[in-house]
Amino acid sequence: MNDRQLSPRVLEALSGRELIVVSNRQPYAHSREDGEITVSRPAGGLTAGIDPVMQRTEGTWIAWGDGDADFEVAEDGRVRVPPDDPSYTLSRIDLSEEDLEGYYYGYSNQALWPLCHGMIYPVRCDGRDFERYRAVNRRFAEAVVEEAEKGSLIWFQDYHFGLAPRFVRREAPEALLTQFWHIPWPTANTYEVCPQAEALLDGLLANDLLVFHTAEYVENFLECVAETVPDATVDRDRRIVRRGDRTTTVRAFPLGIDAERTEELASESGVWSDLAERYGIGGQTVALGVDRLDYTKGIPERIDAIERFFEENPDWRGEFTYVQNGSASRSEIASYEYLQQRVDTAIQRVNRRFGTGEWQPIVRIDEMLPEEELYALYRHSDLALVSALRDGMNLVAKEYVASQIDGDGVLLLSKFAGAHAELGEDAVTINPFDTQAFAEAIERALSLSAAEREERMAAQRRRVTEYDLQAWMNDVLETALDCEPAHDRSVTHA
Ligand code: F6P
């Protein structure tokens, strides 16, 4: 992202105050390779997007130091970044095995992740994990309070920090606190299974501004507050919650991508033919699926639909290839391990049933592709299959659209992905739970005329370009500034 596109109001506000970002993943990691310390930038549009803003504000970014040499470069965890032109501080939190077990693998990813995605079966809200989650949230909050000075804008990212805002609020009552919740918020009758429901809402209501991707998640959140927090007054029309003398504003701003940069990457020529040859991507027509291997993404459901498609459309054998690019994720959790086995078995089955000596219907790429290869794959894929069972947004859908510089691909998009609210009208909508209808949707997408494909894609490209990462950031930060508590800010918290 280029900060020249931030609004004048945001630029002015940020030049006069410190921005403190709090996230689980860090923007730079130090690792040891062959005796040398190297720096890498973990993939992820958001970290890449916030980084230039941090460089401009000279703020502090607080995150888990997960690089194996992170604490070799700075024992206290504080390091100036970017490494080649240091302009802000990355303050790393060192988490022990037990911390990770309870906070990351436990409460964040076995309680909150499935709960917020409305998947009750794998939910495990273990009180012991919650205590570790609370302790880690407290440590992040302490790091915030240590950094914060008068007027700091503190911006929490995601579901790893449901309690930290309350801890910060206790120490710094006048701080301006904002949080972006990157995953869905469930309905009240799903949320009520959580024994820590009230404690989490108490933590989140310490924010001045709480942002979700869609209006539906905002509605769900307000409903949960109304049902769970006895002393809260919910104003659904104004989308605010009042408690005592404090107000939390709740808004929907759908996360966008850096469309300009995506287009640039997709424009690089000569990458696709090498990639196709290296992985044996045969067939004239290509469909892609790009995901972390997560049970919310609907990957086995997608493979089932592809299998049905080949059963019913044998003429496409040898012509149509599906490329599954899925990197392993959270593998220490049993439900993820089980998913990986299901995906392996399903791919083998389809390739055995329909593959020929020269052609495989499903090509899997398990490694994380370098950016220029990933964007070449996006550009040259005739179809993108985004079949999430539930997804906060799904940036793959937006990245595919922005990469379609030739303008003729078709996005098949689950109605249960947050991106559907913006792109659904011009996508081929799918319900990943209905194998037959999903297979027919693939067939329909392949038979759309060139004019119709181009018209749909042009409309989607307009949306993705107009409401991009920069526009989203302006909305979040301007709204945060509007939420500034109107009282004396003369107390320093440093
Ligand atoms: O979608 C929520 C999210 O936290 C994203 O922001 C992030 O890209 C993804 O999950 C990665 O998860 P993890 O950090 O657990 O690998």
Q: What is 231-259 written as a DSSP string?
A: T-EEETTTTEEEETTEEEEEEE------H
Closest-CA residue, ligand 1 atom 7, reads 44
Local structure of 57: helix, strand or coil = helix
| Tokens, residue 415 | 């109605």
CA torsion, points 277, 283, 285, 287, in degrees to nearest 10?
-70
The CA-atom distances, in angstroms, between 108 and each of 101, 209, 363, 478 are 10, 21, 32, 29
Residue 395, pLDDT > 60, answer yes
Per mean pLDDT, which range of 11-15, 136-140, 165-169, 487-491 is the poorest? 487-491
- Position 45 confidence tier, pLDDT thresholds 50, 70, 90: low
396-422 b/e (C-beta count within 10 Å ≥ 16 → b): bbbbbbbbbeeeebbbbbbebbbbbbb
Residue 269, pLDDT > 50, answer yes
* Ligand 1 and 182: CB distance under 6 A: yes
How far is it, in rounded angstroms, from Cα 472 to Cα 476? 6
Residue with token string 């997007």: 49
- pLDDT recorded at residue 52: 80
Per mean pLDDT, which range of 54-58, 213-217, 278-282, 330-334 is the poorest? 54-58
* Ligand 1 and 44: CB distance under 6 A: yes
How far is it, in rounded angstroms, from Cα 132 to Cα 123? 17
- The superfamily in CATH containing domain 3-256+471-486 is Glycogen Phosphorylase B; (3.40.50.2000)
111-139 b/e (C-beta count within 10 Å ≥ 16 → b): bbbbbbbbbeebbebeeebbebbbebbeb
Rounded to the nearest angstrom, the distance between the alpha carbon of 42 and the centre of ligand 1 is 11
For the CA of 391, the closest atom of ligand 1 is 1
- pLDDT recorded at residue 301: 98
- pLDDT recorded at residue 56: 79
Q: What is the pLDDT of residues 407-466, one digit of tens each?
A: 999 999 999 999 999 999 999 999 999 999 999 999 999 999 999 999 999 999 999 999
* Ligand 1 and 391: CB distance under 6 A: no
Tabulate helix, strand, coil % of the chain (nearest 5).
45, 20, 35
Please list the residue range(s) of the chain that carry CATH number 3.40.50.2000. Answer: 3-256+471-486, 259-466
The predicted model gives 180-193 an average pLDDT of 97
* Ligand 1 and 25: CB distance under 6 A: yes
Rounded to the nearest angstrom, the distance between the alpha carbon of 127 and the centre of ligand 1 is 23
How far is it, in rounded angstroms, from Cα 416 to Cα 424? 10
For the CA of 393, the closest atom of ligand 1 is 1
Q: What is the dotted CATH code of the domain comprising 259-466?
A: 3.40.50.2000
CB 301 within 8 A of CB 438: yes
- Position 53 confidence tier, pLDDT thresholds 50, 70, 90: confident
- pLDDT recorded at residue 14: 85
* Ligand 1 and 477: CB distance under 6 A: no
- Position 486 confidence tier, pLDDT thresholds 50, 70, 90: low
Q: What is the pLDDT of residues 106-165, one digit of tens each?
A: 999 999 999 999 999 999 999 999 999 999 999 999 999 999 988 899 999 999 999 999
Q: Verify cis geometry, omega within 30 degrees of 0, for the bond prior to 82.
A: yes
Category of 280 on φ-ψ map: left (φ > 0), alpha (ψ -120 to 50) or beta: left
Q: What is the pLDDT of residues 352-392, one digit of tens each?
A: 999 999 999 999 999 989 999 999 999 999 999 999 999 99
- Least Cα distance to 360 among 369, 349, 344 occurs for 349
Percent of the chain topping pLDDT 70: 97
Residue 480, pLDDT > 50, answer yes
